[in-house]
Amino acid sequence: MAFSFIPLGVGDAFSARHYTSCVAIEAEGRRLLVDCPHPIRKVLREGSTGLPAPLDLPDFDAFVLTHLHSDHSSGIEGLGFYFRYVLQKRPVLVAHPGVAGRLWERLAPGMDENDHAVAQGFVDYFDLTSLDEARPVRVGPFEIACRKTRHHVPTYALRVTAGGRTLAISSDTPFDPALIDWLSPADLILHETGDGIHASYGKLSALPEALRRRIRLIHFADEFRPPDGEIEPLVQGRVYHL
Ligand SMILES: [Zn+2]
């Protein structure tokens, strides 16, 4: 069963070379977008030149948010407006209540009135599906499991399964062996790396080889060059097959 993904953004929050974390996943002809940085339609178009036709927002069944740091979620306002005023429907937004619960607080100053000054709320723009740490949630052909990571704001790692294949995404986290255990049943793990509050490459590259071979790096700094090639960084815009 075909399961593929494209990292549309591989840079960290301060990257001048790459778009920030965003992954398009496809299985059984259906698509999920994980995280949504601005300017999302340009991110999609430039990141999908390896496909016969460029990706655009209507190609996705749902939009998953791991957390509200802007390098992962700054495109949500544009997404909401594009769906409402151009596509005239609501996008399915998938997030844990710990993430979705504060989203409108951030969006409201730009979105809480329409052009007739009528009050608008979250549900006027978005159709929310809540993630649950206790059980996977089904979205089209995808089953999405989540686990909270250690980060400054509520943040959830994901395991996305379809057609018997699983892609795991660490989202933002320090090096955390318990989280890696949770991610490790997946066929492939997209793990962030960076300094400070992020997962150091030194610790990731000390993991057992059999596990390292199933990890690809995302959310890295512009100057990042894996010193030993132990773990492969993702290439923005490349199509990967599981
Ligand atoms: Zn973050």
Which pLDDT tens digit goes with each residue over 93-132? 999 999 999 999 999 999 998 777 777 899 999 999 999 9
Task: Output the CA 234–ligand 1 centroid distance in Å.
Answer: 18
Q: What is the pLDDT of residue 205?
A: 93
pLDDT band at 226 (very low <50, low <70, confident <90, very high): confident
Distance 93 CA to ligand 1 centre (A): 18
Query: Does position 187 have pLDDT exceeding 60, yes or no?
Result: yes
1 pLDDT above the threshold of 60: no
Q: Give me the percent of the chain exceeding a pLDDT of 90.
A: 91
Omega before 39 cis (within 30°)? yes
Mean pLDDT over the full length of the chain: 95
- Looking at residue 85, its pLDDT comes to 93
- Cα(206) to centroid of ligand 1, in Å? 24
Residue 179 CA, ligand 1 centroid: distance in Å: 16
Has residue 151 got a pLDDT over 70? yes
CA 195 to ligand 1 centroid distance, Å? 13
| pLDDT of the residue at 124 | 94
Reported as a pLDDT band with limits 50, 70 and 90, residue 175 is very high
